[in-house]
Structure 1
Amino acid sequence: MQVIRTVLWIALTAILVAFIAMNWTKVPVNFWPLDDGNYVHFEWPVGVVALLFFLLGMLPVWLYLRAVRWRLTRRIASLENSIRASSMPSMTSQPGDTPLAADPLDTSTPTPSPEA
């Protein structure tokens, strides 16, 4: 799966580089209107303008997906903590209660209880 992802990224990069190389003609981009009726404009290559606006268009979607992922991660952690808290045995024991289970890592031999 990692190989397929790497091949797809390489192909996408090659297509993007080819697009920018074929569209290297500089065009004026009107950036901000001025009071006298003119614009502040920059002379940028078409490929760079296209890449820039593609990335600007992708930014809100990326931020939204990051927020959803963050919210779901917090929700999963909250649910895991609530399950962990509800499944833990109570620390207080009543007289006459038997221990739940012996520690599996405890290799010491049990001491015999005196019978009276």
Structure 2
Amino acid sequence: MQIVRTIVWVLLLFSLLAFSFFNWKPVEVQIWSNLVLETKLPALVIISFLLGLVPMWLLHRASKWRASRRINALEAATTRLATPSPTPAPTAEAASSPKKDLPPEPANPIDPEPTKPA
């Protein structure tokens, strides 16, 4: 993808240089009725191009920065939720002795036939 972007920029630069070479002539730009700017045509084209490109590029960079911040925040939140809390490791004494305090578990904890009230 980087090579495609490089090729596009080189072609754009080459076309701008060719345009500048063949159109190097002064033009008059009337800003107000009493203010006239005399400049070369390539300078006018480059300034117009940059006036259109720079605000949109800044908007793109700002939205990309904002999206990456939101993605990073969401990823951090999901990793905090996904990681289990550490459980204490059983001691050697508790692991070797059977649990005597708990009652035995019933064979079938769910009653198959509920009793009907009379």
Tell me by how many angstroms 1:83 deviates: 0.7
Once residues 71 and 81 of structure 1 are traced to their aligned partners in structure 2, the CA distance between those partners, rounded to angstroms, is: 15
Q: Does 1:8 align with 2:29?
A: no
Map 1:77-116 to 2 at 5 A.
77-91=72-86, 93=87, 98=89, 113=92, 115=96
Any unmatched runs of 5+ in structure 1? 100-112
Identity over aligned residues, as a percent? 36
Residue type matched to 1:48 in 2?
A: A
What are the ranges of 5 or more consecutive residues in structure 2 without an aligned counterpart? 98-118
Query: What TM-score results when the alignment is normalised by the length of structure 1?
Result: 0.66
Shift of 1:98: 4.4
CA-CA distance at 1:62 after TM superposition:
1.2
* 1:60 positional shift: 2.2
- Give the Cα separation in 2 of the matches to 1:52 and 1:21: 17
User: 4+ residue stretches of structure 1 with deviation over 3 A?
Assistant: 1-5, 113-116
In 2: Cα distance, 1:50 partner to 1:7 partner: 21
Task: Give 1 or 2 for the bigger CA radius of gyration.
Answer: 2
Hey, what does 2:108 align to over in structure 1? none
1:11 shift after superposition: 1.6
Count of aligned pairs: 95
TM-score, structure 2 normalization = 0.65
1:57-100 deviation per Cα after TM superposition (whole angstroms, max 9, x unaligned): 11221122112101110110111110111122225x4xxx547x
Name the Cα RMSD after superposition. 2.5
